[in-house]
């Protein structure tokens, strides 16, 4: 092989090798200070553009979109503009701050101001995301003692851009020597409508039964405003990026149907807090509670809560330890004001 031919092949190889590991759109980004960044342009969301540069090892780098004056690529990209228009085409910088986006539908490129771009190659979002878990705990002892205990706990959250549906339910049953010593059920359903990114209004209902609280059925319907204080992606830290926290206030109607005691019903206020923190990929801490203070008699108020930790043990299989606490300031006669339940369960978590 001649020396000239060898040099040509070597030059061609050096040009192609950097691109072998690139799976996205290769291009050039020009910044306000005149510097240029070459590499795989992955996406731009929330004011930061992510680039995997040709000669940088490790994670992709992020650059403030406000520092970008132009993008040039030979492959189509998706641009979401502030007026709601979505363009797909090849961008080229004609002058700092202006892009000409060449689409397949129009013969002439479309001029776009860089400052009007809200997102580039945004990730495709599912219209509805489902998350939840189902848990079972139980024990059976026979022989010298005859004890049975069962618990079922489940939660489902369906979230779209504007709506969030939350279902929560649990059932506990226990008997000792054939004699019933625990039986209660609890469930809530709530629908949130997001007026803005953080602010929402909601409506919901609570249902509860407890044999040993003399309670046939406790029900409440309620509505009011809520606020998403922390949502997924608010923090860059891998320990905080999936944390969620929202709080609610509102009004409702409360009804308690007792077996022997006099039934009670009244209008209430309502407050609620929901905190969900996946500290690590395998460990989650959670706390939920809601309170119902009577608007007619200050001594009538009710609080229910559940909190605990959830650990992944294998793939989607989980184990959960949680503490449920309920407090009724005006219970039925001969019953206690508070109840505490300790539940250790195995279950399955899902997300789609």
Task: Write out pLDDT tens, residues 76-104.
Answer: 989 899 888 888 899 998 889 999 999 88
Same domain, 116 and 133: no
> 237 near 261, Cβ under 8 Å?
no
Domain enclosing residue 337, as ranges: 129-351
Question: Cα(137)–Cα(148) distance, rounded to whole angstroms?
Answer: 11
pLDDT in the model for residue 19: 40
* Residue 216 and residue 304 share a domain: yes
- Could you tell me the CATH number of the domain that includes residue 75? 2.30.30
Answer whether residue 21 shows pLDDT above 50: no
Q: How far is CA 73 from CA 23, 24, 41, 60, 91, in A?
A: 14, 11, 9, 18, 6
Evaluate whether residue 86 is within a structural domain: yes
Of 62-66, 82-86, 121-125, the one with minimum mean pLDDT is 121-125
Report whether pLDDT(57) > 80: no
Q: How large is the average pLDDT for residues 261-285?
A: 95
91, 120, 149 — which closes off a domain?
A: 120
Overall domain count for the chain: 2
Q: Are strands 98-102 and 338-351 parallel, antiparallel or unpaired?
A: unpaired
What is the distance between the alpha carbons of residues 163 and 128, in angstroms, rounded to a whole number? Answer: 9
Percent of the chain surpassing pLDDT 90: 55
Q: State the Cα–Cα distance between residues 327 and 269, nearest whole angstrom.
A: 16
Residue 106 shares a structural domain with residue 168: no
Q: Are residues 214 and 285 in the same domain?
A: yes
Residues 189 and 286 in one domain: yes
Which pLDDT score is estimated for 4? 52
Rounded-to-integer distance, Cα 332 and Cα 259, Å: 9
3-state secondary structure of 16: helix
Residue 302: which CATH number? 2.40.230.20
Q: Last residue of some domain: 88, 120, 152?
A: 120
Give the residue-averaged pLDDT of 53-68.
Answer: 80
Q: SS3 for 7?
A: helix
For tokens 């650059």, the residue is 63
Do 142 and 252 belong together in one domain? yes
Q: Do 272 and 139 sit in the same domain of this protein?
A: yes
Please give the radius of gyration of the chain, using alpha carbons only, rounded to the nearest integer: 29
pTM above 0.75, yes or no: no
In a domain, 2, yes or no: no
User: Is residue 288 located within the same domain as residue 324?
Assistant: yes
Measured CA to CA in angstroms, residue 29 lies from 59, 117, 248 at distances of: 18, 14, 44
211 & 293 share domain: yes
The answer to whether residues 302 and 169 belong to one domain is yes
**According to the model, what pLDDT value does residue 11 have?**
43
Residue 239 located in a structural domain = yes
Single out the residue in 120, 155, 174 at which a domain terminates.
120
pLDDT confidence of residue 8: 47
Tell me, yes or no, whether 54 and 169 share the same domain. no
- With respect to residue 281, please indicate whether it lies within any of the assigned structural domains: yes
Tell me the average pLDDT across 313-336.
92
Q: Are residues 87 and 161 in the same domain?
A: no
Distance CA 133, CA 196 (A): 28
Q: How far apart are CA 36 and CA 350, in angstroms?
A: 43
């Amino acid at each position: 092989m001649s020396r000239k031919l060898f040099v040509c092949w070597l030059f061609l190889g050096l040009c192609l090798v950097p691109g072998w590991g690139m799976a996205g759109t290769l291009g050039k980004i020009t910044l306000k200070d005149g510097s240029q960044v070459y590499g795989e342009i992955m996406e731009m969301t929330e004011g930061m553009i992510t680039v995997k540069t040709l000669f940088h090892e490790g994670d992709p780098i992020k650059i403030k979109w406000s520092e970008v004056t132009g993008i040039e690529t030979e492959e189509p990209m998706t641009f979401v503009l502030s007026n709601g228009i979505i363009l797909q085409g090849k961008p080229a910088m004609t002058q700092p701050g202006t892009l000409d986006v060449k689409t397949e539908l129009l013969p002439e490129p479309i001029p776009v101001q860089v400052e009007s771009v809200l997102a580039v190659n945004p990730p495709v979002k599912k219209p509805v995301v489902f998350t939840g878990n189902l848990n079972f705990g139980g024990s059976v002892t026979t022989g010298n003692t005859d004890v049975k205990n069962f618990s079922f706990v489940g939660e489902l959250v369906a979230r779209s851009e504007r709506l969030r549906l939350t279902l929560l339910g649990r059932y506990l049953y226990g008997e000792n020597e054939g004699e019933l010593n625990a039986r209660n059920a609890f469930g809530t359903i709530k629908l949130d409508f997001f007026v803005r990114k953080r602010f929402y209004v909601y409506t919901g209902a609570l249902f509860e039964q407890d044999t040993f609280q003399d309670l046939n059925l406790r029900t409440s319907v309620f509505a009011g405003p809520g606020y998403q204080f922390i949502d997924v992606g608010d923090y860059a830290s891998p320990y905080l990026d999936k944390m969620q926290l929202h709080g609610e206030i509102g009004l409702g109607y409360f009804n308690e149907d007792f077996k022997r005691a006099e039934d009670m019903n009244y209008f209430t206020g309502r407050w609620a807090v929901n905190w969900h923190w996946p500290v690590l990929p395998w460990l989650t801490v959670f706390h939920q509670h809601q309170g119902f203070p009577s608007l007619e008699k200050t001594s009538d108020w009710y609080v229910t809560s559940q909190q605990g930790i959830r650990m992944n043990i294998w793939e989607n299989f989980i184990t959960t330890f949680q503490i449920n606490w309920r407090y009724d300031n005006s219970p039925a006669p001969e019953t206690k004001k508070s109840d505490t339940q300790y539940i250790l369960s195995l279950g399955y978590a899902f997300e789609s």
